[in-house]
């Protein structure tokens, strides 16, 4: 991969990277489209990164479909798939980690200890392997996008980060490889997440600024659909500090379980 | 720096990096010479990295001589000096760190908490700023060299690491910018460090394998010169685990104070 990247660089080509864990859906393909528009060659990485899963999480059953992914990428004009194997990425005496210690602390950082350390580490490794000029991430993983932007700024990676708006199903549910886990009933009830976000956006547009009230709209909607809330929080987009009132650009972030499936989503306020 | 690096890469030039904290001596210039032999353009970075100093260490009084450094580099055929300022390297909300959690634990890792986190972080930043094909370090900082080789392996940096043998004064003292701190008497007594190392090498060559005995030769010599031992340890070169007996390639590492000045040195056994 590095040899290929070096050849592309010598030819003056801009490399675009779309890091994924595979099982590609329309959300991923929107990232690919942006990468194609901004780079000369596009690399999609497919790697189910074990270090960003907790010990009781879904690493073992994470959905995979290499043939389908390869076909989608070919059809979308992707130049190369980069599919490293786990042993090559993390040898037996692996010992180096990249940690972000501010934006990665609240929200999913609190619910999933070690998750963002795994993300920042693997993204660093992918950047070094693919040498992209631009890398594209989805806003659905809003905290991840912010953490990666901070990583790039702090460690001076010569990489432009582009964050693409969340792609949604027709009923508003954010596209996610994990949606495949949902039973028919869970899938139906999960639409309460985007419905709750939309209620909060409307209340914000109508002048509500109290975080507690805005969050309550989301929480109530999800609970009415028998979802189990992990968190519903409003944080400053710049610092990810919790806001009592939305008096600066904010993100309303949600994590909730339907059955055993944990879904996340978010919207901007202000 | 990145723009320049990208232009050099497009021109097919190999970039060599010699990271330094300035106050260059013959040891540094030996690194430059190796870099020149292995790369088309050579960048010397001059940056007294605050994050690798402890709160009670010598950051404030670390010696500096920009004009002298620039002249030496010009005379040695260095292509560019990279001298970032501290505020540009670490902004007020800086929050990302690179940590190595095995080789960096013993020896200087124990004596200088946070030191190697500062080193691995700044080296990552310098690699991203300069985009070198090859980076050159000195064996005098033997643990640092090992930690950086691990960093490069684990994070997949497309950088070749070259480690250059320690350059010594005529009486054997390893060259170091910190030698300038030594009084005349301290300077004289400090030669007990390389003398101790040489005694251990001779004993090893004569068949001694017990680490305690080999280390004692060094400790005794330094103490006889009224040096204060920080550590004298024999570790496996592969893992930096402490060895009871030298039955695999090992490093004998020393840190000792003369007055307030902490000096380090090492030699290979086996």
Q: What is the average per-residue pLDDT within A196-206?
A: 98
Q: Where in chain A is the domain with CATH 3.30.1300.10?
A: 177-269
Which tokens belong to B104? 């960096």
Average pLDDT, chain A: 98
> What band does A48 get if pLDDT is binned at 50, 70 and 90?
very high
- 8 A C-beta contact, residue B79 and residue B41: yes
Touching check for B92 and chain A: CB below 8 Å? no
Of the candidates A27, A37, A11, A95, which has an alpha carbon nearest to the alpha carbon of residue A265?
A: A27
- 8 A C-beta contact, residue A254 and residue A217: no
- 8 A C-beta contact, residue B20 and residue B48: no
Q: What is the average per-residue pLDDT within B103-116?
A: 98
What whole-number percentage of chain B has pLDDT above 70?
100
Classify burial at A220, counting beta carbons within 10 Å of its beta carbon; exposed 0-12, middle 13-18, buried 19 or more: middle
Q: Which CATH number fits domain B177-269: 3.40.1190.20, 3.30.300.30, 3.30.1300.10, 3.40.50.1820?
A: 3.30.1300.10
Q: Tell me what pLDDT residue A226 has.
A: 98
Q: Tell me what pLDDT residue B1 has.
A: 97
Q: Tell me what pLDDT residue A202 has.
A: 98
Residues of chain B contacting A95 with CB distance shorter than 8 Å:
100-103, 150, 154
Q: Tell me what pLDDT residue B150 has.
A: 98
> What band does B25 get if pLDDT is binned at 50, 70 and 90?
very high
H or E, element range at A68: helix A66-75
Flag if A95 and B154 touch (Cβ within 8 Å): yes
Q: Which residues on adjacent β-strands are paired with residue B253?
A: B233, B266
Count other Cβ atoms within 10 Å, centred on residue B197. 25
Which superfamily is assigned to B2-164 in CATH?
HUPs (3.40.50.620)
HSE value, Cβ hemisphere, 13 Å, CA-based, for A39: 31
What whole-number percentage of chain A has pLDDT above 90?
100
- 8 A C-beta contact, residue A100 and residue A148: no
Residues 6 or more apart whose Cβ sits within 8 Å of residue B182: B190, B258, B259, B261
Count other Cβ atoms within 10 Å, centred on residue A86. 12
| Predicted confidence (pLDDT) per residue in A216-251, tens digit | 999 999 999 999 999 999 999 999 999 999 999 999
How many A-B residue pairs are in contact by the CB < 8 A criterion?
Answer: 90
Classify burial at B243, counting beta carbons within 10 Å of its beta carbon; exposed 0-12, middle 13-18, buried 19 or more: buried
List the single residue in A with minimal CA-CA distance to B5.
A158
User: Which position has the higher pLDDT, B10 or B65?
Assistant: B65
Average pLDDT, chain B: 98
List the single residue in B with minimal CA-CA distance to A121.
B155
Reduced to 3 states (helix: H, G, I; strand: E, B; else coil), residue A232 is: strand
Please state, in angstroms and rounded to a whole number, the distance separating the CA atoms of residues A180 and A63.
8
Which residue in the set B2, B101, B157 is minimally distant from A95, CB to CB?
A: B101
DSSP string across B25-45: -HHHHHHHHHHHHH-SEEEEE
Residues of chain B contacting A9 with CB distance shorter than 8 Å:
9-10
Where do runs of H (alpha helix) occur along chain B? Answer: 2-10, 26-38, 66-75, 86-89, 108-111, 115-130, 142-155, 184-189, 192-205, 211-224
Q: Tell me what pLDDT residue B95 has.
A: 98
| Predicted confidence (pLDDT) per residue in B53-87, tens digit | 999 999 999 999 999 999 999 999 999 999 999 99
> What band does B206 get if pLDDT is binned at 50, 70 and 90?
very high
Q: Per 3-state DSSP, what percentage of chain B is helix, strand, and coil (rounded to 5)? A: 45, 25, 35
Of the candidates A109, A89, A16, A10, which has an alpha carbon nearest to the alpha carbon of residue A47?
A: A89
> What band does A196 get if pLDDT is binned at 50, 70 and 90?
very high
Q: Tell me what pLDDT residue B204 has.
A: 98
Q: Where in chain B is the domain with CATH 3.40.50.620?
A: 2-164
| Predicted confidence (pLDDT) per residue in A69-94, tens digit | 999 999 999 999 999 999 999 999 99
Which tokens belong to A234? 């409003």
Q: What is the average per-residue pLDDT within A7-26?
A: 96
Which tokens belong to A158? 């010569």
Which tokens belong to B192? 């007990």
Q: Which residues on adjacent β-strands are paired with residue A46?
A: A20
Please state, in angstroms and rounded to a whole number, the distance separating the CA atoms of residues B44 and B63.
17
Which residue in the set A10, A99, A150 is minimally distant from B9, CB to CB?
A: A10
| Predicted confidence (pLDDT) per residue in B156-185, tens digit | 999 999 999 999 999 999 999 999 999 999
């Amino acid at each position: 991969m590095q040899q290929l990247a070096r050849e592309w660089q010598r030819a003056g080509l801009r490399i675009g990277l779309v890091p994924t864990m595979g099982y590609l859906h329309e959300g991923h393909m929107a990232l690919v489209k942006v990468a194609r528009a901004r780079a000369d060659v596009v690399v999609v990485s497919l790697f189910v990164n074990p270090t960003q899963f907790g010990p009781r999480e879904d690493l073992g059953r994470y959905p995979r479909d290499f043939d389908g992914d390869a076909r989608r990428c070919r059809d979308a004009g992707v130049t190369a798939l980069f599919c490293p194997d786990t042993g090559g990425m993390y040898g037996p005496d692996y010992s180096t980690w990249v940690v972000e210690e501010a934006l990665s602390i609240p929200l999913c950082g609190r619910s999933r200890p070690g998750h963002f350390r795994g993300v920042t580490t693997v993204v660093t490794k992918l950047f070094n392997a693919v040498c992209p000029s631009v890398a594209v991430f989805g806003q659905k993983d809003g905290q991840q996008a912010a953490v990666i932007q901070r990583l790039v700024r702090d460690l001076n990676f010569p990489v432009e980060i582009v964050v693409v708006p969340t792609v949604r199903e027709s009923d508003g549910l954010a596209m996610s490889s994990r949606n495949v886990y949902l039973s028919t009933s869970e899938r139906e009830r999960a639409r309460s997440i985007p419905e709750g976000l939309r209620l909060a956006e409307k209340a914000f547009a109508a002048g509500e600024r109290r975080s507690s009230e805005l969050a309550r709209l989301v929480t109530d909607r999800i609970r009415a659909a028998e979802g189990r809330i992990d968190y519903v929080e409003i944080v400053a987009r710049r610092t990810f500090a919790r806001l009592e009132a939305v008096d600066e650009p904010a993100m309303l972030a949600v994590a909730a379980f339907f059955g055993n499936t944990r879904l996340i989503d978010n919207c901007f306020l202000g």
